[in-house]
Structure formats: C-alpha cells, structure tokens
Amino acid sequence: MDLWRQLSSYLGSPAEVEETPEQKLNRERRQAKLRLLSRSQRGVILDDLKASVAEVLQLVLDHQKQASSIVSATMESTDDTHNKVLILNDDLPPVSKLCANLDRCFSHGLRRVENDDQQSVKFFGLLKWTCTRLGAIHQQRMACGIDGAGSANFSKTAVQLATSSLEPELPRNVRGFLACVRTANDLSNVNLDEGKVRAFIRQALNTHILLDCMRVTLSEANSDLLVSYFTEHALFRQQDEVEIFLTLLDGLETLSFGFLVNDPRLDLSPDIQPFATPLPKPVPQVAGPPPADLIDPEDMVQVDEW
C-alpha cells in the first residue's frame, strides 16, 4: 500500500487516503469551532447594524425635536430656516458608522480566491453577475414572453423580478438596481471593487432603494450565485438572519440621505481612514466644451445592455 501511494504521488495522480478516527474527530472539531465562531460573528454584525440604525433614527428624531422647539420659541411655524430636513451623509459620524456596518455585512464570509488565500472574491462581482442575469431574463421575456422565459431554465421568481419594471405597480425596482450598479461601476474617483460596493450602498440609500436592491440580490432565485460567492457560514447564506438584515434596512427607507458617491475615500477601509478625514482638494482643470443636453435618468437605464 505504501509503495502504491508513493507511485501515485510520483505520477501525479491523487492517492486515496483513508481518514483515521483521530483525523475525523479533529476535522469535526474544527468545523464545530468554525460554526460557533461564524455564528458569533454574525450576531455581533447584526447587533452593530441594529445599533447603528437606531442611532441614525435617534439623530433624525433629535433634529426634528430641536427644530420644533425653535419654531415654538419664535412662534414662526412657517419659517423654512428651522424646518429643513436633516441630510444624512458621511459628515455625520453615526451615518458613517452605519455605512461601515453595512460594509461588514456585505463582506462577511466571502470565499477566498482560488490559489490565493490572501484574497477574497468581491461582492461587487456578485452585483454585476446579478445584473447580467436580470438582463438575460429580461431579453428572454421580451423575445418569448413569460412562459418562454420559464421554459429556459429560469425560475418563476427570477422572471418576476427581472420583469417587474414592466408591471405598473413595481415600475422602478429592477431599473433602480441596475442604475445603482452602473453608477458605482462608472465612477471616476473610485477604482477598487470594495470602494464600488461602498458607493453602491450610498447611491442606493440616496435613491431609497437599498432594501429593494438587496431583496433582488439575496432572493432565492439568486441562490446559486450566493453559494459561489459566500461560504456556508456567511451572513447572506442564513435565511433567518437575512430576514433580520432586510428588516433593519426597512427602517432606513424614509430617511433623506445625501452622500457624495464619487468619493476617492471609498477605496479605503473605514477602519483605516474614517470619514472624519477631509476630502482632498480638487486639482484645477482646464475648462472643456459645454456639456450636452441633460438626459432623463429614466432614459439612461437600458436593461438589455446588461
């Protein structure tokens, strides 16, 4: 048997090595330890996100109370200077912290790149593949109708998601998702995939569709892509915890966010360079020709390009 194993190793063919009881026990212990560690990580991540959402909501509530007290004291109920909506962005530490905690959710449990244990796959790749899938289903829908799309190995849920922009009651869900990914992908000052994910988060918050975007990305119809990008213990592979995550996002839907998306600081981890650091000063540029006529943002989103 030893000679056969040596020959197999020399010839390059894999040798069948039977696992000893001790090796099996050690492997099961490692797996159990990993499950417990991952569960603990997910709990901390969701608790931190919940606390951040509550902190931002409290910030908005305090601003509203302060504005109301000023109006009552001055008896100027129509004074616009005291009734301005609080614009939430990275200049406010609680909001910056919220985005950092969302970033942790998106990156938890990403698989390692094959042949490179130091690098992990990028969540922005998952977003782009989801766009590609939705575009393919949309084209199939337009060519063959919903029955034809279902017969082309596309799940019914995926077809409904991809074609929801054609339904009068859901006109913007998928279109908004594609627009957010495209915006993040085309930024001139954000180059890394990690930074583009942070830009995507902020753009989706700006446009009040982060919840819809994540429902599409984390849907059962997208489970094969989620398996490809995340390990089995990742946050986004746990259905119960995904529901908690989506519920927390629901609390942000009515808030007024105003992030600067094309921000070079998004390429840096918030742990390395918090957003308390001021923006770099812009470099003067020679004035170019006048811009072309503005285009309606709705006309810029073409599903069949993905």
Q: State the CATH number of the domain containing residue 181.
A: 1.20.58.900
Contact (CB, 8 A) for 42 and 108: yes
> Per the domain annotation, does 229 fall within a domain?
yes
> Per the domain annotation, does 297 fall within a domain?
no
In tens, the pLDDT along 154-195 reads: 556 655 555 554 443 334 678 889 899 999 999 999 999 999
| pLDDT for res 289 | 57
| pLDDT for res 301 | 45
Beta bridge partners of 116: 113
In tens, the pLDDT along 94-151 reads: 999 999 999 999 999 999 888 776 788 999 999 999 988 887 776 666 666 554 544 4
> Per the domain annotation, does 15 fall within a domain?
yes
> Per the domain annotation, does 120 fall within a domain?
yes
> Per the domain annotation, does 213 fall within a domain?
yes
- Dig out the tokens for 93 from the structure: 């530490």
> Per the domain annotation, does 70 fall within a domain?
yes
pLDDT band at 85 (very low <50, low <70, confident <90, very high): confident
> Per the domain annotation, does 289 fall within a domain?
no
> Per the domain annotation, does 188 fall within a domain?
yes
What is the mean predicted confidence (pLDDT) over 213-222?
A: 92
pLDDT band at 294 (very low <50, low <70, confident <90, very high): very low
Domain span at residue 164 reads 11-275
Helix (H) or strand (E) holding 113: strand 112-113
> For a pLDDT cut of 70, what percent of the chain falls above it?
66
Higher pLDDT, 23 or 140: 23
What is the number of structural domains in the chain? 1
| pLDDT for res 297 | 44
Separation of alpha carbons 257 and 90, rounded Å: 10
| pLDDT for res 113 | 87
Amino acid present at 183: T
Q: Compute the mean pLDDT over every residue in the chain, rounded to the nearest whole number.
A: 78
In tens, the pLDDT along 223-268 reads: 999 999 999 999 999 999 999 999 999 999 999 999 999 999 999 9
